[in-house]
Amino acid sequence: MTDRYASFANSGPGRTLVKRLGLPDPPRLRRHRPGDPLLPGPALLGAAPGGRLRDQVAKILTAAGVELREPAAATDATADGRSAERYGALIFDATGITDSTGLRALYDFFHPYARGLTPSGRVIVLGTPPEACATPREATAQRALEGLTRSIGKEFGRGSTSQLVYVDRDGSPVSLESTLRFLLSGRSAYVSGQVIRIGPGPATAPADWDRPLAGRVALVTGAARGIGAELARVLARDGARVVALDVPAAGDELAAVANAIGGEAVQLDLTAADAPDRLARYLADRHGQLDVLVHNAGITRDKTLGRMDPGRWDAVLDVNLSSQERINDVLLDRDLIRAGGRLIGVSSIAGLAGNRGQTNYATSKAGVVGLVRSMAPVLADREITVNAVAPGFIETRLTARIPLMLREAGRRMNSMAQGGLPVDVAETIAWLASPAAGGITGNVVRVCGQSLLGA
């Protein structure tokens, strides 16, 4: 569960050796600690002429305690493309770009500051969703932004991240705020190269941004260990009353997780025929309604298709997909998920890209993407959002069992040259779970350090 190479590479003698031999150089990632400022340095905020988000973003950042800088006139940046100051973030409002010739504004903004980011710095480009653009020319230019942000994520290095945030013209300002707070902070340490869409939808700013889930009830499945256990902890830290659920066989570990956070432990096999009903009755009795439901439980049963027995197919599809659909349907039918509720699924890079030996797993995880996309418009009427995260290589007991060479490939083949931690997935889910995230639905966000692998 530990990346010994990364620890070594960040030690005194390790650093020297890594540089001399040109070995992979996994940076120490900035992660959130209570009381940390959002950024380790000021943010540089620029905009293409006519941008509609610059002022809104400036207000959000200032209120969040971020020091703002304006891009200097071209002559102030030194000739070799270095600026004197170091920035915690480079943020660019590209919504004013309505034609591909206007993309030059991106170059003008980023070129002089490309090497001016602090380690674990942040790049955020804000755009208009191509499907909401007035003309094909505008849609083309806005879609082009993705090529830039993904390239920057692979180029800037040193733990920096780069994202494209598409904000609808009626996109929720509160959700934009919560998204910027997430992306700038150390909570998004392992999220990079992503495209996030913010739409309308009712969203509520929390009284305390450090406890956005105060007074909310959250159910986490598969909570006994790994990502689920960490998620239970993070949601509780954010103020939620956490119902931690897992199979009876994991009862002891589950109890330990629940006790440590003052939550409840529920032992239940979600694939049992009566599970949805039993869960529904438990929630109705104890909590009335649920605010946050995270379908984190998942299993793998790897085999190539020719060698796979039907039990492996059925078990993976049922745990990872079908049982979740059954539970959603029952909880929604009985009105057990409150307006303002948050459904969150867990997909996987394998679900997006496919994987050898995982036809069953990839099919189930691709299904999670389908579930999110197809349920989002249906649930919007009830003011419930549905999103998923798609983890890449995360350091857990599961990945510790992967053979060394494959494990090293998975760990290093991303922009961070290291695996992520369960907390990285948990923080991403917590962002989507927040009452402020009401404008975010139908999204699938990878937590993969911008893994090279994809579809």
Which residues carry out catalysis?
361
Q: Site for a second copy (CB under 8 A): which residue of 277, 322, 334, 408? A: 322
Burial bucket for residue 168 (CB in 10 Å: 0-12, 13-18, 19+): middle
Element (H, E) at 410: helix 404-412
Pick between residue 206 and residue 449 the one whose CB is nearest to a second copy: 449
Q: Considering the rule CB under 8 A, would residue 314 count as an interface residue with a second copy?
A: yes
Among residues 281, 272, 265, 271, which one has the least CA distance to residue 219? 265
Pick between residue 281 and residue 356 the one whose CB is nearest to a second copy: 356
Q: Considering the rule CB under 8 A, would residue 455 count as an interface residue with a second copy?
A: yes
Distance spanning both ends of the chain, measured CA to CA: 27
CA dist., res. 353 & res. 246, Å (int) = 28
Two tokens at 128? 């208009």
Binding mask 165-204 for a second copy (x = CB under 8 A): ----------------------------x-----------
Element (H, E) at 333: helix 323-333
CB atoms within 10 A of CB 271: 16
CA dist., res. 72 & res. 112, Å (int) = 9
Stretch near a second copy under the rule CB under 8 A, chosen from 22-30, 262-270, 374-382, 417-425: 374-382
Among residues 449, 446, 426, 228, which one has the least CA distance to residue 349? 446
- Please tell me whether residue 20 adopts helix, strand or coil conformation: helix
How near is the Cβ of 377 to a second copy at its closest, in Å?
Answer: 9
CA dist., res. 455 & res. 452, Å (int) = 10
Pick between residue 234 and residue 386 the one whose CB is nearest to a second copy: 386
Q: Considering the rule CB under 8 A, would residue 158 count as an interface residue with a second copy?
A: no
Binding mask 73-112 for a second copy (x = CB under 8 A): --------xx----------------xxx-xx-xxx-xx-
Pick between residue 259 and residue 304 the one whose CB is nearest to a second copy: 304
Among residues 119, 141, 121, 120, which one has the least CA distance to residue 130? 141
How near is the Cβ of 235 to a second copy at its closest, in Å?
Answer: 25
Q: Considering the rule CB under 8 A, would residue 22 count as an interface residue with a second copy?
A: no
Q: Site for a second copy (CB under 8 A): which residue of 46, 51, 88, 153? A: 153
Q: Considering the rule CB under 8 A, would residue 393 count as an interface residue with a second copy?
A: no
Q: Considering the rule CB under 8 A, would residue 317 count as an interface residue with a second copy?
A: yes
Binding mask 330-369 for a second copy (x = CB under 8 A): --------------------xxxxxxxxxxxxxxxxxx-x
